[in-house]
Structure 1
Amino acid sequence: MRKRLVAAVTGALLAAAPAAVATAAPLPTGPTGPTGPAPSGINADLTRADRQELRRWAADTWASFEAMTDETTGLPADNIEGDLDPATRSGYTSPTNIGAYLWSTVAARDIGLISRTEARERMALTLDTLAGMERHEPSGMFYNWYDEATGAKLVEFPGSGEVIHPFVSTVDNGWFAAALMVVRSAEPRLRAQAQDLLDGMNFAFFHNQDARGGDLPGWNRGGFWVDEPPAEQCNVPGNYGDPAGAPLYYTCHHYDLLNSETRIAVYVGIALGQIPQEAYYSLWRTFPDTCDWDWAEQQPIGTTRSYLGIDVYEGTFAYEDLHMVPTWGGSMFEELMPDLFVPEQRWAPDSWGANHPLAVQAHIRHGLDEAGYGYWGFSPASNPFGGYNAYGVDVIGMQSDGYFSDIEGTDVDGGFGDCREGTNPEPEFGDGVVTPHAAFLAIPYAPREAVDNLAGIEDELGAYGPGGFYDSVAVSGTAAERYLSLDQGMILGALGNVLGHDALHRYFARGEVAHVIRPLIGMEEFSSGVF
């Protein structure tokens, strides 16, 4: 059974030691404006034959959603086996899965795989079901697990009978809200339904304003239980959205890193006016470079700059001559999934516009050169040998012991400057595991390399079935022959932007998103670059 992996990132409050300080301009309030042209290089680097191949991959990926989705509720299963037999649907779904289906339906329409009528009817059915599903009413947020065939909140997992203590997840509701924001713009006839669900969602319930002692803007918690969970589940009672309301039981950890998939909830909460804008600059780019933090993967280098009155340590990690802001585990979806919706490269050319291409190049170099797998692209996915695992390029993740890129869990440990000596700086890698959705996310930043990589995964590794690319494949040849809504949603979201005239960007990045988020992220300068 697949469970969401939550990285409990430290909440320590040590301050970064400034190396140099530069002050940013005040936050502008200009017009919303268009999202801008597509990232340069895609059209030039992809041939007509490439686009036909991408369209074929999109059509097969959409077939997996057709097979996963219940015909009476319009809810997708979390996963389905590789033969697309509806009898192998997982029996459960989540807000992220439902969101992935909604934005994938829009992408499929704009690519030309289904008609406008079919897309509208599919989304209308899903929204009708959602309106009647149980949620945490004070916050308007959805619980983590539902039965896709009935829409009922689950209290035990199908098959195993494992007890579920209903949980309200910050990041899952972030992806779901992002999907509603896409739908409301993409299909005017469904705008009222989507907006009604969105209007009920209050991200302030996740945001701990005192996470950093009250001296700096706060952070989001990982989520909360409505009822007190078992004692082994670390929790903190409170209620950030309604201090006078019933207590909620928050995760003990916060989401304190900027470069993570969890930033989607920050973007949405800020855009909706429920989280302060300054919270974006309260998040760590890296932890400080002092020996107090020498448990991290490597010692960062960078400088300190000031934005909205907040000193931000613009630290970076090194991969050969590439210096970039790391993610927690070094995976592609942490880096690039939010970029499916927020056009980060165009809106923030001196931060995300510098970082995303470098992260993609690190994945390419690791897969082709350092580890010698012959393929690249590493993200959490099904384990080809059973279960679920988190894959990444270890050295560009802040976590000291992975995500790893091979089955063996090979840990790269180069030390932490003079503070800690490395124990395994140049390891031998084993059986690498590549995840096709990671390569699709990289298309805007390495189109030629991504298409060639995917063609090899299909033709040479054989990791392809009736629903498109299998969820992952070991380079020794064993594939995880199943499809996950989340990962298929990343593929169709990426192809919606490439083939569907920047579809997800166009629909999501309008109104309050463009007005608030574009100037907010556009002022920052990372220390990322090639040195």
Structure 2
Amino acid sequence: MYGILLFLSICALTTDDLLGYPRDTLVQIEITDDSEKLLRRIANDTWGYFRDIVDKETGLPLDHIKLSPETKIDGYTSPTNIGLYIVSIISAYDLGFIEKKEAVSKIRSILQTVEGMEKFNGWLYNWYELRPLKRTTDFISSLDCGWLIMGFIIARQVFPEISDLCTAIIDQHNFSFFYDDSVGHMRHGYDTKNKEYSPYHYGLLCTESRMLSLVAIGKGDVPREHYFRIYRVLPGEDMRRKMRSYMGIDVFEGYYTYKDIKIVPSWGGSLFEFLMPALFVNEKEFAKRSIGTNDSLAVIVHIDYCLNEKGYPVWGMSPCCAPDYSYQEYGVSMIGEKKNGYPDGIITPYATFLALDFLPNEAIKNIINLLSYHIYGEYGFY
């Protein structure tokens, strides 16, 4: 998902410093009626990035590489990269791509490296250069640390033999550090140089920060009521509304309407915001009548908007690499709270894979259509 982005920086790493490197920029794969076989092939190819684009010395993944028009390796990583790399290792083991011994060995290496990284009161900074291993920022991101801890929580559940090591890191992180009780929201982060919190909060339920809230509540770091203090829609909106009380908290249950679909909005209308937390919490099953239904509706809106309203041949918009190699957000503005919303016009393949659990038939059809546009490489979709 974050493999082929361009950050303007100078890197000390070369291909010899990595565990592997792709030989081919573009790859054609057989399209088969056996959807499971097709998805496993794509999963295995995608795992190749996390198998190879890892620093031999630290055992940590690179944020991205660039293959065209020239090779560029930017040797940086972040807490999010590390956390999702751990999840990728576990997924590779679960799918049978690697043996348990290899998976545990890789995560042990990560644990050892993370233990020795420069921190602020136990918190990883938001960006690190890999050679030499040093931080490049004074900022600590609550959300990025949330992805990191989510990775270690899952590793602890899957591999009991490293549970104590994972627990030691998990317990170092008390997310009450970021909690603003005056509004009941999580702050974006903390600037260690200026010794001040970010002035911004994660105040909407239907964004990727929902995962951060669930981790913080699950660990017991913030009160359970926090979940109901997060806005479903921003207050003061002139729309249909209903107030309900949960755990003593009055919740404003508003929604937006796209055609005849009633949907609780995200910030910018991207599938990433709606669906990313569902990779880790089975919202489709645990919240069938609430957030799980809303997740499905977001996919339906994206399909209709892209195919019918815009006339695109494929669908699925989320933050991704733009044509100029910058990182930008894309979405359906009509289901986003942000003024003017995220722009449209760019489709990113990973958004379809986030939607697989909600509308599998439509997602598989879209994947097959995407394959016809020559955007598939040795490590899967760009």
* Structure-2-length-normalised TM-score: 0.89
Partner of 1:468: 380
Is it true that 1:99 corresponds to 2:86 in the alignment? Answer: no
Aligned ranges 1:234-245 → 2 under 5 Å: none
- 1:262 deviates by 0.9
1:312 shift after superposition: 0.6
Residue aligning to 1:520: none
DSSP 3-state at the match of 2:242: strand
Pair 1:222 & 2:191 matched: no
Following superposition of structure 1 onto structure 2, how do residues 62-461 of structure 1 map, counting pairs within 5 Å?
Answer: 62-82=47-67, 88-137=72-121, 140-154=122-136, 164=137, 166-211=138-183, 218-228=184-194, 248-288=195-235, 290=236, 293=237, 299-406=238-345, 433-459=346-372, 461=373
The answer (yes or no) to whether the contact 1:69–1:76 under 8 Å persists in 2 is: yes
Give the partner amino acid of 2:186: N
On the 8 A contact 2:284/2:358 being kept in 1, the answer is no
Amino acid at match of 2:96: G
Moved over 6 A (4+): none
Q: Deviation per CA, 1:5-58: give whole Å up to 9, x if none.
A: xxxxxxxxxxxxxxxxxxxxxxxxxxxxxxxxxxxxxxxxxx971011001101
Q: Distance in 2 between matches of 1:191 and 1:151?
A: 25
Structure 2 unpaired stretches of 5+: 1-5, 9-31
C-alpha distance in 2, partners of 1:88/1:81? 5
Length-normalised TM-score, structure 1: 0.65
Q: Which has the higher contact order (CA 8 A, sep 6+)?
A: 1
Q: Provide Cα deviations, 1:401-420, integer angstroms capped at 9, x if missing partner.
A: 221112xxxxxxxxxxxxxx
- Mapped to 1, the partners of 2:81 and 2:133 lie a distance apart of 13
The Cα shift of 1:303 comes to 1.4
Q: Tell me, what secondary structure is at the counterpart of 1:89?
A: strand
> CA 1:48–1:132 in structure 2 vs 1: closer, same or farther (change >3 Å)?
farther
Q: Which residue of 2 aligns with 1:39?
A: none
* SS in structure 2 at match of 1:306: strand
Cα distance in 2 for partners of 1:360, 1:100 equals 23
Q: Quick one: distance in 1 between partners of 2:50 and 2:73?
A: 11
Indicate if the aligned counterparts of 2:331 and 2:343 stay in contact, CA closer than 8 A. Answer: yes
SS at structure 2 position matched to 1:70: coil
Matches within 5 A, 1:40-55: 49-55=34-40
Shift of 1:439: 0.3
In 2: Cα distance, 1:448 partner to 1:148 partner: 41
Give 1 or 2 for the bigger CA radius of gyration.
Answer: 1
Q: Does structure 1 retain, via aligned residues, the 8 Å contact 2:7–2:74?
A: no
CA RMSD of aligned residues (A): 1.8
- Letter aligned with residue 104 of structure 2: R
The answer for unaligned runs of 5 or more in structure 1 is: 4-46, 155-163, 212-217, 229-247, 294-298, 407-432, 471-531
Equivalences, count: 354
Partner residue in 2 for 1:473: none
- Verify the 8 A CA contact 1:77 1:92 in the aligned structure 2: yes
Shift in Å at residue 153 of structure 1? 1.6
C-alpha contact 2:268 2:342 (8 A) present in aligned 1 = yes
Query: How far apart are the structure 1 equivalents of 2:7 and 2:265?
Result: 26
Aligned partner of residue 135 in structure 2, secondary structure: coil
Name the amino acid aligned to 1:191: S
Residue 350 and residue 305 in structure 1: after superposition, are their counterparts in 2 closer, same or farther (change >3 A)?
Answer: same
**How far apart in 2 are the matches of 1:369 and 1:392?**
15
Amino acid at match of 1:463: I
| Distance in 2, Cα, partners of 1:170 & 1:182 | 18
| 1:252-279 per-position Cα deviation (integer Å, ceiling 9, x unaligned) | 1111111110111111111111101101
CA contact (8 A) 2:123 2:145 kept: yes
What is the Cα deviation at residue 358 of structure 1? Answer: 0.6
The residue type paired with residue 338 of structure 1 is P
Q: Give aligned-pair identity as a percent.
A: 40
Corresponding letter in the other structure for 2:128:
Y
Going from structure 1 to structure 2, the CA distance change for 1:168 and 1:279 (only over 3 Å counts) comes to same
Distance 2:240 2:296 in 1: 19
Q: Indicate the residue corresponding to 2:19 in structure 1.
A: none
Shift of 1:72: 1.9
Distance 2:217 2:83 in 1: 19
The alpha-carbon deviation at position 353 of structure 1 amounts to: 2.2
Within 2, Cα distance between the matches of 1:315 and 1:142? 37
The AA in structure 1 aligned to 2:44 is A
Deviation of 1:66 (Å): 2.2
